[in-house]
Each structure stands twice: as C-alpha cells, then as structure tokens.
A and B are shown apart, each in its own frame.
Chain A
Amino acid sequence: MPETVIKLENVWKIYQLGKIDLPVLSGVSLEVKLGSFVTIMGPSGSGKSTLMYLIGLLDVPTKGKVYLDGKDVSNFSENMLAKIRGQKIGFVFQQFNLLPNLTALENVMMPMIFQGMPENERQERAKKLLASFDMEKRSHHKPNELSGGEQQRVAIARSLANDPEIIVADEPTGNLDSGTGKIIMDALTKLHKEQKKTIIVVTHDPTIADYSENIVHIRDGQIIKNHFQEAKVLW
C-alpha cells in the first residue's frame, strides 16, 4: 500500500457574506496516495478550486484538518508553507497564471529563485524543462506573445521547476481547445507515468477523467462519489 501524501479530514470551508455563513466545502475527507493520479470532477461553483487550494496549502480550512506526509499543516508557519509550496507542490492553473513581465525562461526560473538555486544551475534546468515541452524556441517570449497552449506548457514546466512530488492542476485545459488540451493532458500523464509524480487534476471534462485511476465527484461542497477505476485507465 503506497503511503498517503495528502489527507483531508472532515474539512469545512465557510465564507462569511455579511451575516450569512456560506459553506463552500462541507465536511470533505480525502486521501491522496503517493504516485496516484486523482481527478476531481464537479459542476462549476461546486468548490473544486477551493478544495485544490487547500490541497496545495494555499488556504487553510475553517474546520477540519489537512495533513501533509502525516503532519498537521495548521502547525506550520507561513514561511514553512511557502517553502513547502515551493519545493513539494507544483501548480498549474486554468488561467495559466504566468508572471506577465517575465519571459518564459524567467517564469520557469522563478520558483528556483525563491529556493535560492544558483544562477547557472537554474538557467540550465529551466532550459531543459522548456525543451522537454518543445518550448525552447519560445523561451525569450513573454506570456502575451504566446498562445494559450504554449503558456500552459510553460506553466507546466514552471510547476516542475523544483522537481516537486505533487502537481496540482486546476482545470488546466479549461481555457484551451480540445486539441491543445490533449497535448497538456498528455504532458501531465507522462509526468505521472515516467516520473511517478502524484497528480491531482480538476476538470469537468469526462474524457480527461478517463486518464485517471481515482475520480472524485464533488457537488455543493461535498464528495458524492469517490471511485477507483484501474480497469479503464488508458495507458
């Protein structure tokens, strides 16, 4: 049995809108095993992104516990969380979220800068990463000079900058056409297959969910189905 990297235990996220309590997540429990590929599915507004932010240690729950490698993350300082995000978790967003003033290469180097990697080392690594996504020719372009698919490939390269264990992707193909989306999903599955990365991906596209071995269905902030479908995996 592989070990659990992330565990959510009866997690609630409640926003306060004026006097009304708005629960966005209502008692979610989830375990993500090391090296697994998890798909989270659900309609818009069901709380998928909120869940991803909790998994990615970008947010803290109102109630309940989040464990990383068995440790309660509520005990971690802000600096610790930043460090863990930088080292262990790679993010891919629907809006690509590249830094607009930096080139593709600089964007990929950014996470390494925050970890204090020396200049020549990070330059070399960033170039290699961009090359592995066929983006080396565009490495000196800024995000607004790249297509959506290209930006997302740079974003995936960036998410791998510090060789994280976990990749968290929130609707990575949501802003892409299906052809480009397939390239992105291929890239993610390849990471899972070849580098044994733990991958958690949000989508409401059922064909993409077919890549996955563990599908979590979420609706109105609650997990309604969590099934493992090893038989249907496409690789």
Chain B
Amino acid sequence: MLKEYFKVAIKSLRARRLRSWLTILGVVIGVFLIVSLMSLSEGIKTAIMQQLKMMGKDLIMIFPGEITDMATMMGGGLELTENDMGAIKKAEGVETIVPLNYKAEAIRHEGRVKTILINGVSWKDGMDILKNDFGWSLKEGDWPAIGKKEIIVGSAVPTDVFPGMMVGDEAVINGRKFIVSGILKSLGNKQDDSTVTVDLDIFKDITGEKRGAKFVLARVKNGYEVDEVVENIKRNLLETRKRVRGLDSPSFSVLSSEKVMDIVGSILGMIQIAIFGFASIAIVVGGVGIMNTMYTSVRERTKEIGIMKAIGAKNSAINTIFLIESGFFGLFGGLGGMVLGLGLAKAVEFAVKTTGGLYLQASITPQLIIFSLGFSFLVGCISGFLPARQASKLKPVDALRYE
C-alpha cells in the first residue's frame, strides 16, 4: 500500500505547489552548502597532501618560530641564523642541510617590471632535494650551472608574469643581469609557479640578506631514525641559542616531513569539520522549515484526515502519508542541493583550472552523495515525525467537524 500512500502524498504536495517548492528550497540550500563545500575542501586537501607526499620521509624541516604561531612564521620576521645552521649541521644523524630563503624583488624583462618572489637555494646541496623530494623538473632548458648568473623560473612566469619569456632571455634583478636557464614544470599551485629561483650565494648578493635563512631542510643519514634526529637537532639548537643569546625559549620548530603532513592534514581536517558543522546547521534549519510546513498542512487538511478515517484509514496510514510527504521534502531537497552543489564544485574546479591557482579537483565521492541524500531524508523524516503523529492521533469526529 506504500505505493498508494506515496501517490496520495505527492498529490497533496502538488496541490500546494509554491509552499512545497519553498520548503524544498530550504533543504536545497543546506545540502548545496554541504556538497559544494565538502567536495571542494576535500579536493583542496587532496591537492595539498599530494604535494606534500612527494617529500622524502628522511627530510626534516626547521623553521624559526613556533608552529602554533602561524602569523609570525608566515610573516617572515623571524630567521634562522648562521649559528643555528651550524648547530643543525652538527646534530647527530644529519647528512646535509639546505638553507632556503626568499624575498620579493622587482624583476625587469624586456622593459616590463614586476615584483615577484625570489627563492634562494644552495644549488650544491639543494638541487637533489628539490628534484627528488619536491618534484621539481624542467619543462625547457637546463638547470643553472653553479657560479653562473643564471636563474630558473616557475611555469607560470613565462605565461602570466612575463608573457613570452623564453629560455636564454635576459632578466634584471636589482641592476644585475641574469640569463633564464630553464623553465620548470608546474609545482602544483600557482603561487609556487610564479617564483624565480637562484643559487643562495647569488640571492644573498642581490637581496643584501647575507646571513640566515627562512627555512632549513636537513636530510637524515642512512641508519638513523628520523624522530631521533629531530630530537638531536632540537637539542643542539637549544644549546646554541642559550650559549649565544642567553635565550631559553625555543622559538624554532623542527618537524619531520611526516609530522608536517600530519599537521597540515589535521588543520585541513578541522576546517572541514567546521564547514561541515555549519552546513549541517543549514540542513537542520531546512528541517525546521519542513516541520513548519507539515504542521500547517496538518491543520489545513484536518477535515481530509477526518474523511480518510471515516472511510477506514488506520492511524498508521495517516502517519505514513504525512511522513512520506516530509521525507519527500528532505530527499527531494537533498537531491536538488546535491545537483546544484556538484554543479558549483565543478564550476569552481573549472574556473580555478582556467585562471590558475591551485590545481584542484572537486572530490565527489559516493559517500558524500549517499550521506547528503541520507541525511536530508532523515532530517525530513524527523521533522515530519511530530506533525504526522499529531495528524494520526486526531479524533475522527473532531477532524470531520473541523472547518
């Protein structure tokens, strides 16, 4: 009989078309938010994690500042000194260290001047790590020769920053001439692709930042535990700082590549939970809308309920009909929200792809689809529970006499 009750329910929804659509719209908005935001944030997470995964497990990153203090870390005011680097190098289990530095500088190419980020990396020690652990590879040209005034540029530089730039071109930074020796393949995001990289010695020369680094990479020697070496580096750094500056606050962070992945993963996870929470609230608000509509409907159809009872409807039949209606609101709203949400996610994916930025793929999983439909259907049923119960419990005479 469920099929018949379903037909009856749909007919009464169609009799109140506008209200039904508005109620469904309330659910659509919530599900739309969940689906679009979740699939995009999951896509962003995947893109970032994929980049991080390229790093070898034997790498350790040393940053100035506390990892918990993102603002100062990213703001870049802090630096690791030459002494710090010495301490890192001397730590037991460290094979090589690669200091990295960066600074925004004005670059001139064929008359145009743009300010872009310049990375300084020690070619001698760092080239292998960049190639093997950070996935750097050349699209055109060659890696720069050590000691020559050569630079390599990110893949977006010849397309977006200096359109038409080619290998062999001349670029001027702070009055010094350089030759573009190579163009990199994409590194996975627009920001990194829009940078220029030079040898650390040249970097120091052109920026005037002779000492220190924003960031040091250390590679673990074979046969050492990564976590052990992390502790060794921390200990060395702490001792050095105490000795040199009399500081005992460890304003640096030493992280293994796995730890970095964990941290980034959990930060992104937390963002997702927050998004999910807010979007879920939107669905619940949609549920309140369903409840409101259902109560109105029960009141309006009191007489109909009485008629159905007079011609043999059991309470359970009335209950079922009303639950189908509210469940339908939920499910149909969920379906609509999902279609719109996936549409938006795909549109954003496309827009990001064409304008650059992060190379992101909206993540559309069966779980997300099943969850959003299931959750909205459930919200619909729960919202309809009390109104349907009220309808089924109406006394036949009272309902029939209701005008």
Interface set of A (CB-CB < 8 Å, partner B): 53, 56, 58-59, 78-79, 82-83, 85-87, 91, 93, 97-102, 110-111, 113-116, 158, 161-162
| Proximity bits, B380-403, A CB within 8 Å = 1, else 0 | 000000000000000111001000
Measured between beta carbons, the chain B residues less than 8 angstroms from A158 are: 311
Interface residues of B in 258-296 (CB under 8 A from A): none
B18 part of interface (Cβ distance < 8 Å): no
Smallest CB–CB gap between A68 and chain B, Å?
15
Contacts A58-B396, A100-B304 given; does A86 touch B311 at CB 8 Å: yes
The CA of A49 and the CA of B395, in the complex, are separated in Å by 15
Contacts A53-B397, A59-B397, A100-B15 given; does A82 touch B304 at CB 8 Å: no
Give the bracket for the number of chain B residues in contact with chain A. Answer: 20 to 34
Which chain A residue has the least Cβ–Cβ distance from B15? A101
Smallest CB–CB gap between A164 and chain B, Å?
10
Which chain B residue has the least Cβ–Cβ distance from A114? B312
Which chain B residue has the least Cβ–Cβ distance from A84? B312
Contact of A82 among B8, B11, B303, B313 (CB under 8 A): B313
The CA of A53 and the CA of B4, in the complex, are separated in Å by 27
Measured between beta carbons, the chain B residues less than 8 angstroms from A83 are: 312, 314
22 contacts between A and B (CB under 8 A): A53-B396, A53-B400, A58-B396, A58-B397, A79-B314, A82-B312, A82-B314, A83-B312, A85-B312, A86-B311, A93-B400, A97-B307, A99-B307, A100-B15, A101-B8, A101-B12, A101-B15, A111-B311, A111-B312, A114-B1, A114-B312, A114-B313
Interface set of B (CB-CB < 8 Å, partner A): 1, 4, 8, 11-12, 14-15, 303-304, 307-317, 395-397, 400
The CA of A181 and the CA of B316, in the complex, are separated in Å by 36
The CA of A91 and the CA of B304, in the complex, are separated in Å by 14
Q: Are the CB atoms of A85 and B311 closer together than 8 Å?
A: yes
Smallest CB–CB gap between B394 and chain A, Å?
11
The CA of A98 and the CA of B307, in the complex, are separated in Å by 8
Smallest CB–CB gap between B313 and chain A, Å?
5
Smallest CB–CB gap between B396 and chain A, Å?
4
Q: Are the CB atoms of B313 and A58 closer together than 8 Å?
A: no
Q: Are the CB atoms of B397 and A85 closer together than 8 Å?
A: no
The CA of A33 and the CA of B278, in the complex, are separated in Å by 67
Smallest CB–CB gap between A61 and chain B, Å?
12
The CA of A162 and the CA of B313, in the complex, are separated in Å by 13
Q: Are the CB atoms of A59 and B396 closer together than 8 Å?
A: yes
Contacts A58-B397, A58-B400 given; does A113 touch B310 at CB 8 Å: no
Smallest CB–CB gap between A131 and chain B, Å?
20
Which chain A residue has the least Cβ–Cβ distance from B5? A113
**Which of A53, A59, A82, A100 is packed against the most chain B CB atoms within 10 Å?**
A82
Q: Which 6 A-B pairs have the closest CB atoms?
A: A86-B312, A114-B312, A59-B397, A58-B396, A111-B311, A82-B314
The CA of A111 and the CA of B311, in the complex, are separated in Å by 5
Apart from the given pairs A91-B311, A111-B312, 13 other A-B contacts in the complex at a CB distance below 8 Å: A58-B396, A58-B400, A85-B311, A86-B311, A86-B313, A93-B400, A97-B400, A99-B304, A101-B12, A101-B14, A110-B311, A115-B312, A158-B311
Measured between beta carbons, the chain B residues less than 8 angstroms from A59 are: 395-397
Q: Are the CB atoms of A102 and B8 closer together than 8 Å?
A: yes
Measured between beta carbons, the chain A residues less than 8 angstroms from B311 are: 85-86, 91, 110-111, 114, 158, 161
The CA of A111 and the CA of B1, in the complex, are separated in Å by 12
Which chain B residue has the least Cβ–Cβ distance from A170? B400
The CA of A107 and the CA of B36, in the complex, are separated in Å by 44
Measured between beta carbons, the chain A residues less than 8 angstroms from B12 are: 101
Smallest CB–CB gap between B164 and chain A, Å?
69
Which chain A residue has the least Cβ–Cβ distance from B14? A101
Q: Are the CB atoms of A87 and B310 closer together than 8 Å?
A: no
Q: Are the CB atoms of B312 and A87 closer together than 8 Å?
A: yes
Which chain A residue has the least Cβ–Cβ distance from B313? A114
Smallest CB–CB gap between A143 and chain B, Å?
11
The CA of A79 and the CA of B317, in the complex, are separated in Å by 10
The CA of A188 and the CA of B77, in the complex, are separated in Å by 97
Smallest CB–CB gap between B307 and chain A, Å?
5
Contact of A102 among B11, B303, B315 (CB under 8 A): B11
The CA of A91 and the CA of B311, in the complex, are separated in Å by 7
Smallest CB–CB gap between A14 and chain B, Å?
14
**Which of A83, A114, A161 is packed against the most chain B CB atoms within 10 Å?**
A114
Measured between beta carbons, the chain A residues less than 8 angstroms from B15 are: 100-101
The CA of A79 and the CA of B313, in the complex, are separated in Å by 9
